[in-house]
C-alpha cells in the first residue's frame, strides 16, 4: 500500500491544481488512487466483519471523486486537496451517519464519525432522539473509548442555530446539542501516523469506538432499528 506515494501526489496536486496538470499526470493519479483504494479496502474488510451496515460494500461504493462537483464560482481549483471515502450503509452519499476517511498531507489526514452534512429530515430525527433519549446520548458521547480515539468528542464548533430549533424551548437542558447542524466527532493524523505500519489498525479501532454513537444516530433515522 503506497500511502507515501498518495501523500506525495496530493502535495503535488495542491501545488498544481489545474486540469492541465492533472491531464499530464493521469498515470500518477491512478497510482495514488490505487493506494487509497487499497487502504479503504483493508479498512472495509476489517470493520465489515463486526458491522453489518458495512458488509458487502466495495471501495467503489464509498470512495469520493477527486473532482469538485459543487465548486463555488470563485474557486479556481477543480480538484479536492484530499482523497477519501464515506463508509456507511448505502454508500458514500446515503442519508445515514457513518465514517469518513480523508488522506491529505501536512497532518490533515482525518477520520470522522457521525453525520456532517445531514438533511433537514435527518437533523429533525436526530434532535428528537437526543430529546427523548438524553441520558443515553450523553453516555455515548462521553464514553471513555470514544474519547480515547476522538479526544475532542462530539464537535460543537461547527455550524449551529442561533435560536432553539422548532418545537424546542430556550430552557431545554440539551439546547446546546439540539442547536447543532452537524453531529460528528473527528480527529487528524500526522503524516508519520499515516505511514506507520499500524495505521489501518488505528482506523479500525477508532471506528469501533465510535460505532455506538453512530448507531444511536442511525437508529433515529428512517430505516433505523
Q: How would you write the pLDDT of the chain (225 residues) with one tens digit per residue? A: 899 999 999 999 999 999 999 999 999 999 999 999 999 999 999 999 999 999 999 999 999 999 987 655 567 889 999 999 999 999 999 999 999 999 999 999 999 999 999 999 999 999 999 999 999 999 999 999 999 999 999 999 989 999 999 999 999 999 999 999 999 999 999 999 999 999 999 999 999 999 999 999 999 997 655
Note whether residue 225 is domain-resident: no
**pLDDT of 189:** 98
Note whether residue 144 is domain-resident: yes
Note whether residue 79 is domain-resident: yes
Note whether residue 196 is domain-resident: yes
Q: How many CB atoms lie within 10 A of CB 215?
A: 16
Whole-angstrom distance, CA of residue 170 vs CA of residue 189: 38
DSSP per position, 135-167? HHHHHHHT-HHHHHH-TT-B--SS-B-SSPPTT
**pLDDT of 222:** 79
Residue keyed to cell 435527518: 122
- Kindly state the helix (H) or strand (E) to which residue 87 belongs, with its residue range: strand 83-87
Angle at 2 between CA 105 and CA 110, to 5 degrees: 35
Q: Has this prediction a pTM greater than 0.85? A: yes
User: What is residue 174's three-state secondary structure?
Assistant: coil
**pLDDT of 1:** 85
Q: What is the total residue count of the chain?
A: 225
Report CA Rg, the chain.
18
Q: What is the DSSP letter of 110?
A: E
Backbone φ and ψ for 186, nearest 5 degrees, come out as -145, 160
**pLDDT of 69:** 75
CB 190 within 8 Å of CB 165: no
Whole-angstrom distance, CA of residue 55 vs CA of residue 49: 7
Note whether residue 49 is domain-resident: yes
Q: Which of 128, 181, 131 is nearest to 157 (CA)?
A: 181
Domain hosting residue 17, numbered range: 3-220
Number of domains in the chain: 1
> Which residues, in sequence order, are CB contacts of 161 under 8 Å at separation 6+?
179, 181
Q: Which of 43, 220, 21 is nearest to 137 (CA)?
A: 220
| C-alpha cell at position 168 | 424546542
Whole-angstrom distance, CA of residue 159 vs CA of residue 137: 20
Amino acid at each position: 500500500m503506497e500511502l507515501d506515494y498518495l501523500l506525495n501526489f496530493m502535495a503535488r496536486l495542491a501545488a498544481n491544481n489545474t486540469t492541465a496538470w492533472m491531464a499530464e499526470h493521469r498515470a500518477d493519479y491512478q497510482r495514488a488512487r490505487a493506494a487509497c483504494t487499497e487502504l479503504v479496502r483493508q479498512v472495509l474488510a476489517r470493520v465489515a466483519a463486526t458491522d453489518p451496515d458495512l458488509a458487502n460494500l466495495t471501495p467503489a461504493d464509498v470512495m469520493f471523486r477527486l473532482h469538485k462537483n459543487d465548486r463555488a464560482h470563485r474557486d479556481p481549483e477543480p480538484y479536492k486537496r484530499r482523497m477519501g471515502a464515506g463508509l456507511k450503509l448505502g454508500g458514500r452519499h446515503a442519508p445515514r451517519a457513518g465514517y469518513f476517511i480523508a488522506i491529505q498531507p501536512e497532518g490533515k489526514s482525518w477520520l470522522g464519525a457521525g453525520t456532517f452534512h445531514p438533511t433537514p429530515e435527518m437533523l429533525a430525527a436526530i434532535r428528537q432522539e437526543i430529546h427523548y433519549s438524553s441520558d443515553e446520548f450523553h453516555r455515548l458521547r462521553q464514553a471513555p473509548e470514544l474519547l480515547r480515539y476522538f479526544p475532542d468528542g462530539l464537535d460543537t464548533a461547527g455550524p449551529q442555530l442561533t435560536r432553539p430549533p422548532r418545537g424546542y424551548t430556550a430552557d431545554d437542558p440539551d439546547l446546546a446539542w439540539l442547536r447543532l447542524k452537524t453531529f460528528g466527532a473527528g480527529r487528524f493524523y500526522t503524516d508519520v501516523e499515516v505511514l506507520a505500519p499500524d495505521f489501518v489498525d488505528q482506523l479500525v479501532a477508532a471506528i469501533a469506538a465510535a460505532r455506538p454513537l453512530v448507531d444511536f444516530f442511525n437508529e433515529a433515522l428512517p430505516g433505523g432499528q
